[in-house]
Amino acid sequence: MTAGMKASDIDVAIIGAGHNGLACAAYLAAAEIKVVVLEQNDVVGGAAVTEEFHPGFRNSVAAYTVSLLNPKVIADLELEKHGLKIVHRPAANFWPVDATRYLLMRRGLAERQAAIAQFSQRDAERLPDYDAMLERAADVLRDLVLTTPPNAGGGIVELIKGAGIGRRMLGLSLDEKRILLDLFTRSAADFLAGWFESDVVKAAFAFDGIVGNYAAPSTPGTAYVLLHHCFGEVNGKRGAWGHAIGGMGAITRAMAAAAEARGVRIRTGAKVQQIITRGDAAAGVVLAGGEEVFARAVAANVPPKLLFRDLVSANAVAEETRALFTGMRTGSGTFRMNVALAELPDFTCCPGGHAQDHHGAGIIIGPTLDYLERAYLDARMTGWSRQPVIEMLIPSTLDETLAPQGEHVASLFVQHVAPHLPGGRSWANAHEKAAFADLVVDTVTKHAPNFKRSVVARQVLSPLDIEQRFGMVDGDIFHGALSLDQLFSARPRLGYADYRLPLGGLYLCGSGAHPGGGVTGAPGHNAAREIIRDFKGWRGGPFVSKRKD
């Protein structure tokens, strides 16, 4: 134990200063609970960080776009007062289709209908109904985001059947419940087939269903992931995607400032090696190097799989219990690059190298449903797709703090990249990583011929890099797949959905808990509420968490 870290000083030790750990800390401190946050890296933020990757060029390292960040968390933590500013993209997404055609989805309904009408008049006419349907479904999720799911409840299907959770559910018609059931259980391709006829239009909507999901649009469950990506809002605009000025690190810097202003102590370069247990309860942690930090309770911002594989010692929980968590499905199949650009990409289908609205949109290479499907099948066979699905964002078109004037930075986020390469190959091999990064640049260059020569520098993160840098097991960006068996009451595992883990005083406050991944702040917010509840009921003596049924 170090000076200043006496047992009585600390109520809760939080493992990890990801955005959820920081949010949880700030809420606890507001309830006068004494918190220390222990982060293995030298900077706070987890996967929501910004860094200079080439002299003069800064960008978000992993997460790169804002939508899911919960408005209540923004308000409660006064993130704007602590420097956070989020701006809108001029258009949501831009899909280059071929040499002459593209789909540019702006925000207004009439503009989006006009864009879609180039591919199908009928699809354009269906858009208002589709929007309304998705919005009502997303509303149900929004209602559930900040709730604690029942521990003994079932998965998502039971949730629909029960219809008792979430105010909105009560007002849904039978038809709307059917739609929700479809969204929660079907594939994005099946679901969209009921709405649209154009393959391009279907691909545009299906894209959200495969992000971080290592699945084809035809895989059951992808319709839910599509919906998961829709429940966010930016500055009060629902379903919108935005940019944090200064990159995603601006969010976590503001959260850290909010937490510290409330008295939270944040330690970086403090890797937790093991949970200390007393009896059947967590009593603190041991850091790499041997320092012991005692606390009445411990909250883990790390993925549950990592927690039970590496940090909870052998005799602390029954082997079957440990296996529940180490058996979680992980591996989002994602690859991330940043590039420094001498000039903006000049797209063949939408020419011009001067900044236009499509440069500020999410630029998605994945023009048809078949393309998305093939990319997945290819990746399953060979480790990555020969025609990869890429989202590129050029945040410097919205934010002059990121690159020298006239130059740019782009984030590239690639789907369907195997967490572990087949045939004895490995991401630890620099040639594999470079070969795939080259393919990504070449793929964008097919649509924007000046792209390759404009790349001045690049930063490349394979699934292995994502794991090593952030502790995201198997490079899983959500701390565990957003599959039906790992959502709501079943997240992280059935019986442990109330943020309390199977060791007294041990809580889960990261993305492995409900409502899952993304820069939302919701798991941190919800875990804090449960921890505060237990502290309020605590009457001295050894601290115990109060499991709910």
Ligand X SMILES: Cc1cc2nc3c(=O)[nH]c(=O)nc-3n(C[C@H](O)[C@H](O)[C@H](O)COP(=O)(O)OP(=O)(O)OC[C@H]3O[C@@H](n4cnc5c(N)ncnc54)[C@H](O)[C@@H]3O)c2cc1C
Minimal distance, residue 450 CB to ligand X, in Å: 26
Minimal distance, residue 270 CB to ligand X, in Å: 6
Please say which residue, 198 or 301, places its beta carbon nearer to ligand X. 301
**In angstroms, rounded to a whole number, what is the distance separating the alpha carbons of residues 526 and 532?**
10
Please say which residue, 33 or 509, places its beta carbon nearer to ligand X. 509
Whether residue 515 is preceded by a cis peptide bond, meaning omega within 30 degrees of 0, is: yes
Minimal distance, residue 104 CB to ligand X, in Å: 20
**In angstroms, rounded to a whole number, what is the distance separating the alpha carbons of residues 217 and 203?**
9
Please say which residue, 331 or 518, places its beta carbon nearer to ligand X. 518
Please say which residue, 41 or 396, places its beta carbon nearer to ligand X. 41
DSSP letter, residue 269 = S
- In 327-368, which residue ranges form alpha helices assigned H by DSSP? none
Please say which residue, 205 or 470, places its beta carbon nearer to ligand X. 470
**In angstroms, rounded to a whole number, what is the distance separating the alpha carbons of residues 138 and 55?**
41
**Residue 293 and residue 309 in contact, taking contact as beta carbons nearer than 8 Å:** no
**In angstroms, rounded to a whole number, what is the distance separating the alpha carbons of residues 70 and 547?**
26
Minimal distance, residue 298 CB to ligand X, in Å: 11
User: Which value, in Å, is the radius of gyration of the alpha carbons in the chain?
Assistant: 23
Minimal distance, residue 17 CB to ligand X, in Å: 5
Q: Provide the strand spans (E) within 342-386.
A: 362-365
Please say which residue, 179 or 518, places its beta carbon nearer to ligand X. 518
Please say which residue, 109 or 288, places its beta carbon nearer to ligand X. 288
| Pairing between β-strand 362-365 and β-strand 50-54 as defined by DSSP bridges | unpaired
Kindly give, in sequence order, each residue whose CB lies less than 8 Å from that of residue 4, ignoring residues fewer than 6 positions away.
none
Minimal distance, residue 472 CB to ligand X, in Å: 5
Strand partners, 21: none
> Sheet containing 292-294: which strands, arranged edge to edge?
272-278, 281-287, 292-294
Minimal distance, residue 355 CB to ligand X, in Å: 21
- Which residue in this structure is represented by tokens 């942690």? 285
Please say which residue, 65 or 368, places its beta carbon nearer to ligand X. 65
Q: Provide the strand spans (E) within 352-433.
A: 362-365, 390-393, 408-414
Minimal distance, residue 502 CB to ligand X, in Å: 19
Q: What are the C-alpha distances in Å from 424 to residues 378, 432, 462? A: 17, 12, 16
Minimal distance, residue 290 CB to ligand X, in Å: 14
Residue 362 phi, psi (nearest 5):
-75, 115
- Which residue in this structure is represented by tokens 């919800």? 526
**In angstroms, rounded to a whole number, what is the distance separating the alpha carbons of residues 307 and 347?**
45
**In angstroms, rounded to a whole number, what is the distance separating the alpha carbons of residues 188 and 222?**
5
Minimal distance, residue 93 CB to ligand X, in Å: 13
Minimal distance, residue 113 CB to ligand X, in Å: 27
Please say which residue, 166 or 517, places its beta carbon nearer to ligand X. 517
Residues that bind ligand X (CB under 6 A): 15-21, 38-41, 46-48, 62-65, 68, 271-272, 301-302, 334, 336, 413, 466, 470-472, 477-479, 510-511, 517-519
DSSP letter, residue 286 = E
The encoded tokens of residue 257 equal 């400032």
Strand partners, 265: 36
The encoded tokens of residue 545 equal 């968490």
Minimal distance, residue 162 CB to ligand X, in Å: 27
Please say which residue, 50 or 511, places its beta carbon nearer to ligand X. 511
Kindly give, in sequence order, each residue whose CB lies less than 8 Å from that of residue 514, ignoring residues fewer than 6 positions away.
148, 149, 487, 488, 491, 497, 522, 523, 526
Q: Say how many Å lie between the first and final Cα of the chain, rounded.
A: 36
- Which residue in this structure is represented by tokens 């005692």? 294
Q: Quick one: which H or E segment has residue 299?
A: strand 297-300
**In angstroms, rounded to a whole number, what is the distance separating the alpha carbons of residues 270 and 39?**
5
Please say which residue, 262 or 479, places its beta carbon nearer to ligand X. 479
Minimal distance, residue 316 CB to ligand X, in Å: 16
Please say which residue, 40 or 356, places its beta carbon nearer to ligand X. 40
Please say which residue, 27 or 119, places its beta carbon nearer to ligand X. 27
